[in-house]
Amino acid sequence: AQKVTQAQTEISVVEKEDVTLDCVYETRDTTYYLFWYKQPPSGELVFLIRRNSFDEQNEISGRYSWNFQKSTSSFNFTITASQVVDSAVYFCALREYGNKLVFGAGTILRVKS
Amino acid sequence: EPEVTQTPSHQVTQMGQEVILRCVPISNHLYFYWYRQILGQKVEFLVSFYNNEISEKSEIFDDQFSVERPDGSNFTLKIRSTKLEDSAMYFCASSVSGIPYEQYFGPGTRLTVT
Protein backbone atom coordinates (compact mmCIF):
# COMPACT_ATOMS: atom_id res chain seq x y z
CA ALA A 1 0.00 0.00 0.00
CA GLN A 2 1.10 3.54 -0.65
CA LYS A 3 1.86 5.75 2.28
CA VAL A 4 3.46 9.14 2.75
CA THR A 5 4.59 10.35 6.14
CA GLN A 6 5.41 13.91 6.99
CA ALA A 7 6.34 13.65 10.62
CA GLN A 8 6.76 17.37 11.18
CA THR A 9 3.33 18.82 11.83
CA GLU A 10 4.53 22.40 12.19
CA ILE A 11 7.85 24.21 11.93
CA SER A 12 8.56 27.79 12.91
CA VAL A 13 11.68 29.60 11.77
CA VAL A 14 12.94 33.13 11.64
CA GLU A 15 13.46 34.74 8.27
CA LYS A 16 16.76 33.84 6.58
CA GLU A 17 17.05 30.55 8.40
CA ASP A 18 17.34 27.37 6.36
CA VAL A 19 14.61 24.80 6.91
CA THR A 20 14.20 21.17 5.82
CA LEU A 21 10.84 19.48 5.46
CA ASP A 22 10.94 15.72 5.75
CA CYS A 23 9.01 13.22 3.67
CA VAL A 24 9.18 9.44 3.99
CA TYR A 25 7.23 7.20 1.66
CA GLU A 26 6.24 3.57 1.39
CA THR A 27 5.64 1.73 -1.83
CA ARG A 28 6.00 -1.76 -3.27
CA ASP A 29 6.46 -0.53 -6.81
CA THR A 30 9.89 -0.08 -8.36
CA THR A 31 8.59 2.74 -10.55
CA TYR A 32 6.92 5.62 -8.81
CA TYR A 33 6.84 9.39 -8.73
CA LEU A 34 7.20 11.85 -5.91
CA PHE A 35 5.89 15.39 -5.75
CA TRP A 36 5.93 18.43 -3.53
CA TYR A 37 3.06 20.91 -3.45
CA LYS A 38 2.73 24.20 -1.61
CA GLN A 39 -0.57 25.39 -0.14
CA PRO A 40 -0.32 29.09 0.78
CA PRO A 41 -2.90 30.72 3.08
CA SER A 42 -5.06 31.50 0.03
CA GLY A 43 -5.71 27.76 -0.23
CA GLU A 44 -4.65 26.71 -3.71
CA LEU A 45 -2.23 23.84 -4.30
CA VAL A 46 0.87 24.87 -6.19
CA PHE A 47 3.04 22.24 -7.87
CA LEU A 48 6.72 22.55 -6.96
CA ILE A 49 8.55 19.48 -8.21
CA ARG A 50 8.22 15.94 -9.59
CA ARG A 51 10.84 13.25 -9.11
CA ASN A 52 10.95 9.85 -10.83
CA SER A 53 12.08 6.83 -8.83
CA PHE A 54 14.85 6.04 -11.30
CA ASP A 55 16.39 9.50 -11.03
CA GLU A 56 18.09 10.07 -7.71
CA GLN A 57 19.81 13.28 -8.68
CA ASN A 58 19.21 16.06 -6.24
CA GLU A 59 17.67 19.18 -7.63
CA ILE A 60 18.09 22.85 -6.87
CA SER A 61 15.79 25.61 -8.01
CA GLY A 62 16.69 28.99 -6.59
CA ARG A 63 16.30 28.79 -2.82
CA TYR A 64 14.61 25.38 -3.05
CA SER A 65 16.42 22.07 -3.11
CA TRP A 66 15.29 18.47 -2.92
CA ASN A 67 17.16 15.44 -1.64
CA PHE A 68 15.84 12.10 -2.89
CA GLN A 69 17.28 8.98 -1.25
CA LYS A 70 15.82 5.64 -2.25
CA SER A 71 17.86 3.81 0.37
CA THR A 72 15.91 5.57 3.13
CA SER A 73 12.69 6.13 1.12
CA SER A 74 12.94 9.83 1.71
CA PHE A 75 12.35 12.90 -0.40
CA ASN A 76 13.22 15.93 1.70
CA PHE A 77 12.75 19.55 0.78
CA THR A 78 15.03 22.36 1.91
CA ILE A 79 14.34 26.07 1.71
CA THR A 80 17.47 28.16 2.01
CA ALA A 81 17.29 31.65 3.50
CA SER A 82 13.58 31.37 4.21
CA GLN A 83 11.27 34.31 3.63
CA VAL A 84 7.90 35.24 5.09
CA VAL A 85 6.29 34.42 1.72
CA ASP A 86 7.41 30.81 2.20
CA SER A 87 4.85 30.46 4.99
CA ALA A 88 2.45 27.78 3.82
CA VAL A 89 1.50 24.15 4.21
CA TYR A 90 3.78 21.88 2.21
CA PHE A 91 2.58 18.51 1.02
CA CYS A 92 4.63 15.59 -0.22
CA ALA A 93 2.78 13.18 -2.51
CA LEU A 94 3.40 9.78 -4.11
CA ARG A 95 2.09 8.32 -7.32
CA GLU A 96 2.55 4.71 -8.38
CA TYR A 97 0.99 3.12 -11.42
CA GLY A 98 -2.44 4.69 -11.70
CA ASN A 99 -3.85 8.14 -11.51
CA LYS A 100 -4.14 9.07 -7.91
CA LEU A 101 -1.77 11.12 -5.84
CA VAL A 102 -1.43 9.99 -2.24
CA PHE A 103 -0.66 12.97 -0.07
CA GLY A 104 1.07 13.20 3.25
CA ALA A 105 -0.56 15.07 6.10
CA GLY A 106 1.40 18.21 5.31
CA THR A 107 3.84 20.37 7.25
CA ILE A 108 2.85 23.86 8.29
CA LEU A 109 5.81 26.20 7.84
CA ARG A 110 5.70 29.54 9.63
CA VAL A 111 8.42 32.02 8.78
CA LYS A 112 8.60 34.98 11.12
CA SER A 113 10.19 38.29 10.28
CA GLU B 1 0.23 30.97 -17.79
CA PRO B 2 -2.71 28.58 -18.24
CA GLU B 3 -4.46 27.57 -15.06
CA VAL B 4 -7.28 25.44 -13.77
CA THR B 5 -10.30 27.47 -12.70
CA GLN B 6 -13.14 26.46 -10.40
CA THR B 7 -16.55 27.90 -9.62
CA PRO B 8 -17.97 28.80 -7.24
CA SER B 9 -15.23 29.58 -4.76
CA HIS B 10 -17.61 28.93 -1.88
CA GLN B 11 -20.91 27.05 -1.87
CA VAL B 12 -23.25 26.74 1.08
CA THR B 13 -26.00 24.16 0.84
CA GLN B 14 -28.44 22.37 3.07
CA MET B 15 -28.15 18.71 3.89
CA GLY B 16 -29.89 16.58 1.31
CA GLN B 17 -29.52 19.08 -1.50
CA GLU B 18 -27.70 18.41 -4.74
CA VAL B 19 -24.63 20.46 -5.62
CA ILE B 20 -22.59 20.75 -8.77
CA LEU B 21 -19.03 21.96 -8.59
CA ARG B 22 -17.54 23.25 -11.80
CA CYS B 23 -14.03 23.22 -13.16
CA VAL B 24 -12.35 24.34 -16.34
CA PRO B 25 -9.14 22.33 -16.79
CA ILE B 26 -6.11 23.58 -18.68
CA SER B 27 -7.06 23.47 -22.35
CA ASN B 28 -4.59 20.93 -23.75
CA HIS B 29 -4.86 18.58 -20.77
CA LEU B 30 -6.46 15.19 -21.23
CA TYR B 31 -6.73 13.85 -17.67
CA PHE B 32 -8.96 15.36 -15.02
CA TYR B 33 -9.24 14.74 -11.32
CA TRP B 34 -11.19 15.64 -8.22
CA TYR B 35 -9.70 15.68 -4.74
CA ARG B 36 -11.08 16.87 -1.44
CA GLN B 37 -9.56 18.24 1.72
CA ILE B 38 -11.57 18.24 4.91
CA LEU B 39 -10.52 21.20 7.04
CA GLY B 40 -7.13 20.62 8.61
CA GLN B 41 -6.69 17.19 7.04
CA LYS B 42 -4.79 15.73 4.14
CA VAL B 43 -5.80 15.99 0.52
CA GLU B 44 -7.69 12.86 -0.62
CA PHE B 45 -8.19 11.52 -4.12
CA LEU B 46 -11.76 11.10 -5.29
CA VAL B 47 -11.75 10.28 -8.99
CA SER B 48 -9.85 10.52 -12.25
CA PHE B 49 -11.41 10.92 -15.68
CA TYR B 50 -10.01 10.30 -19.12
CA ASN B 51 -11.52 9.89 -22.56
CA ASN B 52 -14.99 10.60 -21.21
CA GLU B 53 -14.98 7.94 -18.57
CA ILE B 54 -13.86 7.34 -15.04
CA SER B 55 -10.43 5.74 -15.02
CA GLU B 56 -10.02 5.36 -11.28
CA LYS B 57 -12.03 6.18 -8.17
CA SER B 58 -11.55 5.93 -4.44
CA GLU B 59 -13.81 4.35 -1.86
CA ILE B 60 -14.99 7.86 -0.97
CA PHE B 61 -16.48 8.23 -4.43
CA ASP B 62 -19.70 6.33 -3.84
CA ASP B 63 -23.05 6.45 -5.65
CA GLN B 64 -23.72 9.93 -4.29
CA PHE B 65 -20.96 11.31 -6.49
CA SER B 66 -20.77 11.62 -10.25
CA VAL B 67 -18.55 13.40 -12.73
CA GLU B 68 -19.20 14.68 -16.17
CA ARG B 69 -17.54 16.54 -18.99
CA PRO B 70 -20.63 18.17 -20.48
CA ASP B 71 -18.75 20.05 -23.19
CA GLY B 72 -15.22 20.58 -24.44
CA SER B 73 -14.12 22.75 -21.56
CA ASN B 74 -16.02 22.04 -18.34
CA PHE B 75 -15.58 19.20 -15.89
CA THR B 76 -18.13 18.84 -13.11
CA LEU B 77 -18.53 17.01 -9.84
CA LYS B 78 -22.07 16.38 -8.66
CA ILE B 79 -23.00 15.35 -5.16
CA ARG B 80 -26.53 14.05 -5.30
CA SER B 81 -27.68 14.39 -1.70
CA THR B 82 -25.18 16.23 0.46
CA LYS B 83 -24.33 15.19 3.99
CA LEU B 84 -22.69 17.20 6.74
CA GLU B 85 -19.49 15.19 6.28
CA ASP B 86 -19.25 16.33 2.65
CA SER B 87 -18.17 19.74 3.93
CA ALA B 88 -14.66 20.20 2.58
CA MET B 89 -12.53 21.99 0.04
CA TYR B 90 -12.89 20.32 -3.34
CA PHE B 91 -10.01 20.63 -5.73
CA CYS B 92 -10.11 19.97 -9.44
CA ALA B 93 -6.85 19.09 -11.17
CA SER B 94 -5.71 18.30 -14.68
CA SER B 95 -2.63 16.86 -16.34
CA VAL B 96 -1.44 16.83 -19.91
CA SER B 97 -1.31 13.05 -19.84
CA GLY B 98 -1.29 10.27 -17.29
CA ILE B 99 1.81 8.95 -15.59
CA PRO B 100 4.22 10.55 -14.90
CA TYR B 101 2.95 14.04 -15.47
CA GLU B 102 2.24 16.40 -12.64
CA GLN B 103 -1.30 17.42 -11.86
CA TYR B 104 -2.12 21.11 -11.76
CA PHE B 105 -4.73 22.11 -9.24
CA GLY B 106 -7.42 24.72 -9.29
CA PRO B 107 -8.02 27.13 -6.39
CA GLY B 108 -10.70 24.92 -4.89
CA THR B 109 -14.37 25.22 -3.99
CA ARG B 110 -15.18 25.34 -0.33
CA LEU B 111 -18.40 23.39 0.23
CA THR B 112 -20.26 23.97 3.45
CA VAL B 113 -23.19 21.68 4.20
CA THR B 114 -25.52 22.92 6.95
CB contact under 8 A, B106 and A105: no
pLDDT of residue B17: 98
pLDDT of residue A87: 97
Q: What is the DSSP letter of B102?
A: P
CB contact under 8 A, A91 and B43: yes
**Which chain B residue's Cα is nearest to A6?**
B42
Q: Tell whether the torsion through CA atoms of B2, B3, B4 and B8 is positive or negative.
A: negative
Q: Which residues of A touch B106 (CB under 8 A)?
A: 44
Nearest to B89 among A43, A103, A106 (CB): A43
CB contact under 8 A, B107 and A33: no
Strands B109-113, B10-13: pairing is: parallel
Q: Could you tell me which residue, A46 or B100, shows the higher pLDDT?
A: A46
CB atoms within 10 A of CB A82: 22
Residue B73 CA to its chain's centroid (Å): 14
If you average pLDDT over every residue of chain A, what do you get?
93
Mean pLDDT confidence for A21-36: 94
Nearest to A38 by CA among A63, A1, A69, A55: A63
User: Measured between CA atoms, how close is A106 to chain B, in angstroms?
Assistant: 7
> How far is Cα A74 from Cα A95, in angstroms, rounded to an integer?
14
**Contact between A50 and B100 (Cβ < 8 Å):** yes
For the CA atoms of A80, A86, A91, A93, the dihedral, rounded to the nearest 10 degrees, stands at -50
Best mutation target, A100, A103, A107, A108, to test chain B (most B CBs within 10 A): A100
> How far is Cα A85 from Cα B72, in angstroms, rounded to an integer?
37
Give the residue ranges of DSSP H helices in A16-108.
none
Structure confidence by residue, pLDDT tens digits, B46-61 = 999 999 999 999 999 9
pLDDT of residue A2: 73
Q: Within an 8 Å CB–CB cutoff, is residue B30 touching chain A? A: no
Cβ under 8 Å to A: B residues 59-88: none
**Which chain A residue's Cα is nearest to B43?**
A103
Q: Within an 8 Å CB–CB cutoff, is residue B97 touching chain A? A: no
If you average pLDDT over every residue of chain B, what do you get?
94
Structure confidence by residue, pLDDT tens digits, B58-96 = 999 999 999 999 887 899 999 999 999 999 999 999 999
Q: Is the pLDDT of residue B1 over 80?
A: no
CA separation, residue A55 to residues A34, A52, A105, B100 (Å): 11, 5, 25, 13
**End-to-end alpha carbon distance in chain A:** 41
